[in-house]
Amino acid sequence: MKREPAERSLRPTWLEIDPGAFRHNVQRLREAVGRQVVIYACLKRNAYGCGAGPIARAAIAGGADGLAVGNIDDAVSVRRAGVTAPVMLYPTCLPEVAAAVSDLDLTPTVSTPEEAESWAAAFGKRRSIFAKFDVGLMRGGAQPSELGALLAAIVDSPNLTLAGIYTHFHTYGGPEGAGYLEWQVARLREAAAAAKSSGAEIPFVMGSNSALVMQRPDLDLSGVDPGRLLFGVTPAGPLERQLDLRPALAAFRSRILIAKTITAVPEDQRLSPFPAQVGTRIGVLPVGWGDGLPRRFRDGARALVQGRPVPILNPVHLEHLRLDLTGVPEAGPGDEVTLIGRQGAQTITLEEVEATWGLDGLSLLAGLRDHLRRDYGHPES
């Protein structure tokens, strides 16, 4: 008899995503920015590892007006999840996929007049398009001095309707970040002036990612497109707004495959990179750096087994991880292990993970590989 492959991952390693937390975060953002400001929830990188389809549904349920994605495949996931709200595409694909963009009712972004002309030709009918401008990231987008020409190419085209203009600030923490931010704000004003003097009607202007939303409420403009804050990752820096945010990633769990007590180690400990001694009890888990864990954890990294913390042992392997179970000798195969989240009375928070995994919250979430099973049944809070 032919066996069908399993539809769901059979590995005892999984993520628990809390769409209710995401929805809650969108609601808090809505309260902060008010009804007049459009919210595009930024769902880059498969919704920062949490799953573009289910998170898009939560975003709209929480009051977002639209979704923004950096990968057209994520837009396909959003539509497959039955979400009909506006989807803006950050620069992600070439005009050769214009028919799919049209069928899925997505709004692409252009940075140059040539790009605008190519999309207009490829659409062959009237479609909306965003113009991006660059205030300092120096990636996509027309520089302020080039914006007038880009807008002219769009408004002069019989096939294009200008949906609006937007930019993305390059923000990072640290004292030097403030001066750089101000420099970019000056470039934003320069671009706004260029747009005005082009004579084009600009229906929508957007510039704020999470850091700007939290630090510069005066720059909410017509819309905002934060990502990380909606997943419960607070940006660094002095914050003007305080939002009660919850983590969208509720838990990262696995189960013990093998437990054994070490009976021999090299006499010269320098011969082995593994920090075990005779008598150390180790537990082996089916999860590794190929799933998004770091190659090495920092001192103090721990997991929870039977409601108790146990040390994580370095180095991490491609698909395996070892725990020091010496302090919980009764733990054995099949026991659930929590790498992130709550188990019993103990919780490993995202903040603890940032410190001991050596990853900031954004890198951690976005680094979670798509092959991991994601469970969305976490009780909505």
- Indicate the residue among 210 and 338 with the shorter CB distance to ligand PLP: 210
- Indicate the residue among 147 and 310 with the shorter CB distance to ligand PLP: 147
- Indicate the residue among 57 and 228 with the shorter CB distance to ligand PLP: 228
Q: Is 225 in the site for ligand PLP (CB under 6 A)?
A: yes
Q: Is 92 in the site for ligand PLP (CB under 6 A)?
A: no
Q: Is 77 in the site for ligand PLP (CB under 6 A)?
A: no
**Stretch of 116-124, 179-187, 188-196, 209-217 contacting ligand PLP, by CB under 6 A:** 209-217
- Indicate the residue among 220 and 225 with the shorter CB distance to ligand PLP: 225
Total number of residues that touch ligand PLP (CB under 6 A): 12
Q: Which of 308, 381, 380, 379 is nearest to 347 (CA)?
A: 308
Q: Distance between alpha carbon 132 and the CA centroid of its chain, in Å?
A: 21
Kindly report the three-state secondary structure assignment for every residue of the chain. CCCCCCCCCCCCEEEEECHHHHHHHHHHHHHHHCCCCEEEEECHHHHHCCCHHHHHHHHHHHCCCEEEECCHHHHHHHHHCCCCCCEEECCCCCHHHHHHHHHCCEECEECCHHHHHHHHHHHCCCEEEEEEECCCCCCCCECHHHHHHHHHHHHCCCCEEEEEEECCCCCCCCCHHHHHHHHHHHHHHHHHHHHHHCCCCCCCEEEECHHHHHHCHHHCCCEECCCHHHHCCCCCCCCCCCCCCCCCEEEEEEECCEEEECCCCCCCHHHCCCCCCCCCEEEEECCCHHHCCCCCCCCCCEEEECCEEEEEECCCCCCCEEEECCCCCCCCCCCEEEEEEEECCEEECHHHHHHHHCCCHHHHHHCCCCCCEEECCCCCC
CB of residue 102 vs ligand PLP: minimum separation in angstroms?
A: 22
Q: Contact with ligand PLP (CB under 6 A): which of 24, 44, 281, 374?
A: 44
CB of residue 199 vs ligand PLP: minimum separation in angstroms?
A: 26
- Indicate the residue among 13 and 111 with the shorter CB distance to ligand PLP: 111
**Stretch of 12-20, 223-231, 289-297, 303-311 contacting ligand PLP, by CB under 6 A:** 223-231
- In the bound state, the residue with its beta carbon closest to ligand PLP is 227
CB of residue 90 vs ligand PLP: minimum separation in angstroms?
A: 5
Task: Show contacts with ligand PLP in window 137-176 (CB under 6 A).
Answer: 168
Q: Which of 41, 14, 30, 368 is nearest to 231 (CA)?
A: 41
CA distance 166 to 161: 15
Task: Show contacts with ligand PLP in window 232-261 (CB under 6 A).
Answer: none
Q: Contact with ligand PLP (CB under 6 A): which of 24, 37, 64, 90?
A: 90
- Indicate the residue among 37 and 42 with the shorter CB distance to ligand PLP: 42
CB of residue 284 vs ligand PLP: minimum separation in angstroms?
A: 35
Q: Is 210 in the site for ligand PLP (CB under 6 A)?
A: yes
**Stretch of 52-60, 175-183, 205-213, 350-358 contacting ligand PLP, by CB under 6 A:** 205-213
Q: Distance between alpha carbon 24 and the CA centroid of its chain, in Å?
A: 17
- Indicate the residue among 17 and 337 with the shorter CB distance to ligand PLP: 17
CB of residue 51 vs ligand PLP: minimum separation in angstroms?
A: 16
Q: Contact with ligand PLP (CB under 6 A): which of 26, 29, 39, 42?
A: 42
CB of residue 56 vs ligand PLP: minimum separation in angstroms?
A: 15
CB of residue 101 vs ligand PLP: minimum separation in angstroms?
A: 18
**Stretch of 25-33, 57-65, 208-216, 372-380 contacting ligand PLP, by CB under 6 A:** 208-216
Residue type, 43: L
CA torsion through residues 326, 331, 335, 338, sign: negative
Q: Contact with ligand PLP (CB under 6 A): which of 227, 232, 292, 361?
A: 227
Q: Which of 140, 108, 143, 137 is nearest to 122 (CA)?
A: 108
Q: Is 209 in the site for ligand PLP (CB under 6 A)?
A: yes
Chain positions contacting ligand PLP, by CB under 6 A: 42, 44, 70, 90, 168, 209-211, 225-228
